[in-house]
Structure 1
Amino acid sequence: MVTLHTTFGDIKLRMFADEAPATVENFLQYCRDGFYNGTLFHRVIDGFMVQGGGMASGMEEKATRAPIKNEADNGLSNLTGRLSMARTMEPHSASSQFFINVNDNLFLDHKAKTPDGWGYCVFAEVVEGMDVVNKIKGVATGNWGYVHQDVPVEEVLINSVTIED
């Protein structure tokens, strides 16, 4: 179990270590390193997802480790309350950023081992604190510079993370 202690409250997560072992280990290593402490939920789209894990206060991008292999072909779906790795258009580009689905987003699931079909790897689920996620998804958002859209107007931070065995 992992708990994200946010400015809106705690979000407790259960890892899918059997289905996504490399992804879970990657996430846990970022947690153990304190990487997520002080990072933002920097992209929030009500009806879709809330994304965090890569930007510090002021929308400053954090340096990450190398990307990991995409394990989206693990049979898990992007259902409400499940966490997936964020990535670029390159299927194997996920590093630290993740998102929490606030809707059933089955169109993000793995379909084929092609650039368009890889999908997004589900690696955890919210077991407590979905009310906190729902508060986050409802925040006012806007643009940040020319690049970032759907950024919370007031920062929503992950203050710290705890891991329980």
Structure 2
Amino acid sequence: MAELLSHVLAAYALGTVVSWRLEWVTKRWVAVAMIGALLPDLNRIGLFVTDATLESVLGVPFSVDAIHTLGGVVLLSAIGAMVVADQHRRVFGVLLAGALSHLLVDAVKAYADGAAGAWLYPVTWARHPTPNLYVSSDPAVLAVVGVTALLVWWTDRTRGEER
């Protein structure tokens, strides 16, 4: 759970900082980016439902591991953009930005074999070497991201009072 919260807080911090430069990025769009940061972890549905069950329901070959890839988040962002009433392209872009922040943060975490997952699928199956910057279960990661998000929140709040 700490890793999921870390991704959401990182998307909040990044979205809020972007909102300082782009007028159209309001709190609503920061929230959409935070939802986008959750998209890659929808592959956790595999803990409850097997791939075979999903294949029988969908009628096509399916693997939940593909959700935590570039192709998976593009597809989920497109689905998310279709369910909103308006501004489909903007929703798609903001959801995708949040999801990409998740994938990029995961690209530098520690893996046992020293190579990140094939998160660039369908572009390539290559697994790049990772710098092993952090272990996802380390509580210090959540602390750093939490403090960063708190500082961004505080700065954003004080910027609003100055206007």
What is the TM-score normalised by the length of structure 1?
0.31
Query: Which structure has greater helix proportion?
Result: 2
- Structure possessing the higher relative contact order (Cα contacts under 8 Å, 6 or more residues apart): 1
Larger radius of gyration: 2
Query: Which structure has greater strand proportion?
Result: 1
What is the TM-score normalised by the length of structure 2?
0.32
